[in-house]
Amino acid sequence: MRRTMTDDPKNIWQTPPAIPDVDALSDAWRRVFTSGVDAMFATGERARAMSTTPPYDPFAPARAFTEFATALIADPTALQKTQASAFKEWSELLQRQTMRMSGQPTGDGIKEDRSDRRFADPAWTDDPFFSAIKESYLIAARNMIALAAETKGIDASTRARIDFFTRQYIYAMAPTNFAMTNPAVLRKTLETGGLNLLGGLANFLTDYASTDSWVQRRASDEFELGKDIAATPGAVIYQNEVMQLIQYEPSTKKTYKRPMLYVPPLVNKYYLMDLKPKSSLLKWLVDEGHTVFTISWKNPDASHQHLDLTDYVLEGPVAALGAIEDATGESQVDLFSFCMGGAIASAALAYLTQTGKGDKIASATMMATLIDYSKLGEWSTFTEAQQVEAFNDHIHAKGVISGDDLKKLFSVVRANDLIWSSVVDHYLLDHLAPPSDLLHWFADGANMPKAFLATWSRDILRENKLAIPGALKIGDVAIDFGKVKTPVFNLALRDDHVSAWDAVYDNGAHFGGPVTFVLGGSGHNAGIINPPSRGKHGYHVSKKKADTAEDWLENAEQKEGSWWPEWQSWLTSGKLSQEQTDARYIGSGNLKPIEPAPGSYVRG
C-alpha cells in the first residue's frame, strides 16, 4: 500500500498529486459558481447601502508608523541593534541548515511559543525546507517586535499602537497562511488533487456574501436556544426597556437564603454562563443550592440610541434587586458579573452605597472586570482620539454599533486564534469547524446604543473616570468605590487578552472593604467556563496582600482544577455564611412568570 503524506512529512515533495474524482470536481466548481453569484449580488447591495463611515480610522496605521519612522531617524540606535541581532540569528540559521543538509547534528533551532499552535504539523520541525521557513519567520517577527519596543522617543500610547499594527502585519504574513508554504495545505492539496482549494474558494465567497462578510468559525444550525444552550429551566419574571430578569427553577429541596444575580456585559448575550448543561455556570450554581437570577439585556436598535450608562445601571441591576425582593422576599443579594457587566454592577454597587442602600448587596463578585482603564495595552489602539471620532461618526447615523462590528473588533485583537486559524482551516484546508457552543455564543453578538457608547468611550476608556473617586456620575450621584464596604471576590484570568490579569488585580485598591483575589487559568472566556468536572486550568490563591500583582503571584498557592468550588466556599462560609431555606419556586412570590427562559430579549 502506498504510504500517504501523513505517514512521513519529510516525503511531502515526493508524493504525486491525486487526480480528483470527476463528480467531486464538478460539485466543487458548482459551489464556487453558486457562491460567486451570491458574492456578486452582495457586493452590489453593499455598494448601494454604503451610507455610513466605517467604525475605525483607516489612516491609524499610517499615522502610527510615520511617528515610528520619525523616532527611528532621530535615534537609529535601536535599528542598528535590531539589525545586528537579526544578522546574527540568520547567520546561525544558515549554519544550522548547512549542517543539517550534510547530516550533522544541529541542536535546537528557533522555537515558537508553547501557546502558538500554528506550527503543530511535524513538517515544520522535520522537513529542512519548512523548518527554515518557520525559523526565518520567527526571527523576523521577534526582531520587528523588539524594534517597536526599544525605539526611543515614543510615548506609551503611540508605542502600544505601533506594537499592535506591527503584530497584525506579522500575523497576516505568517507562512501558515499561504498554500505554498504550509505543509498541511500542500499535503491536503496533493491528496485531493486541489479540491480543498476549490472548496476553500467557495467557502470564502460564501462568507463574503454573508451578512457580516466575515470568516465563519462555526456550524450555524447546530444549537438552539432553550434546547441545547441557554437551556437551564426557568422563566422571565420581570422586564423593562433594557432587560428581562430570568429566575431559574431550583433543583434542590433546600436553597441558600440569599439569592444570586448575574449581570452580563452589553457586548455579548448572557448565556456565556449558560452554555451546554455540562458547562453551564448558572446550572452549576442552581445545583449547588442557590436561587439564581440573571439579567438578559435587550438587543438595542436605533430606537434605543438614547440609553446611557445611567439607564443600564438603574434599569438593570438596581431594578433587578427590587424585582428579586418582590419574587423572594429577600432584601439581600449576592451579585456577580463579568467583564463590562462588572463595570455596570460595580457602578450600581457604588450608587446604592452612596444612596444608603448598599446593604442590599451582601457580596459582589467581579470576573475579568476592570475598574482602572489606564492599562489597556493593545486595546488602547482604539482609544486614540481619531479612532474615537471615527467610531462616534459611524454610530451617529445608525444609533447603534452592530454586534457584527463588535465581533470583528474582538477578533482582530486575537487575530491568530479568531481570524487566521479560521482562514487556514476554512479557505485552504476546506475544513468546517466542529460545532462549538462557545463559538456559537461568540458569533451571536449584541448591538450597543449610541449614548452608552459615547459615555463609555469618553468617560471610561479615555478619561478613566471609573477609577477616579467622584469623577463619574450615575444620575446625580458621583460614585466613589472607596466608600464601598461590601466584600468583593475579584477574579482574573492568567491569559486574558481583554482584561489583563495584573490590571484586574489592581481593582482591590479601589474598594473600601475586604477584597479576595483569585487568579484563574486560561483566557477571557474559556477561563470563566471551567466546570469542576473537567479538572482543567487550575488557579492561584493567597491570603497575603501585595503591592503588585507579580509580588502576589510569587507567594500564591497553585491549586488544581476549577475555581468554581473556591468561589462557592467564599459565598457560603466565614462572614458570608448563610442559612438555608425551602426551595423557592417561580411564581411563589409576588412576581409571576411572563414567559419561559431564555426569554425573547436574548433572541433579538
pLDDT in tens, 24-44: 888 888 888 888 888 888 777
What share of the chain has pLDDT > 90, as a percent?
A: 67
The domain spanning residue 407 has which CATH number?
Answer: 3.40.50.1820
Residues 205 and 319 in one domain: no
Helix axes 60-74, 156-172, angle to 10 degrees: 110
**Mean predicted confidence (pLDDT) in 376-399:** 81
Q: Reduce the DSSP state of residue 299 to 3 states and report it.
A: coil
Residue 597 phi/psi, 5-degree rounding, is -65, 150
Let me know whether 416 and 468 are in one domain: yes
Same domain, 352 and 251: yes
Which DSSP string corresponds to 73-123? HH-THHHHHHHHHHHHHHHHHHHHHHHHHTT----------TT--TT-STH
- CA 344: distance to chain centroid? 18
4 in a structural domain: no
pLDDT in tens, 331-384: 999 999 999 999 999 999 999 999 999 999 999 999 999 999 987 777 878 888
Domain membership of residue 495 (yes or no) is yes
Task: Give mean pLDDT, residues 317-343.
Answer: 97
Q: Are residues 202 and 319 both part of a single domain? A: no
Residue 219 in this model has a pLDDT that exceeds 60: no
Q: The pTM is what?
A: 0.88
As a whole number, mean pLDDT of residues 397-409 equals 85
Q: Which of 194, 209, 224 is the C-terminal boundary of a domain?
A: 209
* Cβ-contact 494, 517 below 8 angstroms: no
Q: Say whether both 141 and 238 belong to one domain.
A: no
**Can you tell me the mean pLDDT for 471-478?**
96
CA angle 137, 138, 140 (to 5 degrees): 65
Nearest CA to 215 out of 401, 488, 420, 466 is that of: 420
Question: Which position has the higher pLDDT, 221 or 195?
Answer: 195
For range 192-203, the mean pLDDT? 93
Residue 28 amino acid letter? A
State which residues form the domain around 594. Answer: 234-374+403-446+464-603
Q: Are residues 521 and 494 in contact, defined by beta-carbon separation less than 8 angstroms?
A: yes
204 in the same domain as 243? no
pLDDT score at 220? 58
Q: Report the catalytic residues.
A: 339
Give the pLDDT band (50/70/90) at residue 7: very low
User: Omega of the bond prior to 183 within 30 degrees of 0, cis?
Assistant: no
- Is there a domain that residue 171 lies in? yes
Are 204 and 242 part of one and the same domain?
Answer: no
- Evaluate whether residue 328 is within a structural domain: yes
Evaluate if residue 320 carries a pLDDT over 80.
yes
14 in a domain, yes or no? Answer: no
Distance CA 561, CA 556 (A): 16
Residues 581 and 518 in one domain: yes
> What is the tally of structural domains in the chain?
2
Q: Within this chain, do residues 181 and 248 fall inside the same structural domain, yes or no?
A: no
**What would the grid cell of residue 44 be?**
452590489
Strand partners, 247: 235, 293
Do 201 and 262 lie in one domain? The reply is: no
At residue 51, the pLDDT reads: 57
The reply to whether 203 and 309 lie within a common domain is: no
246, 204: one domain: no
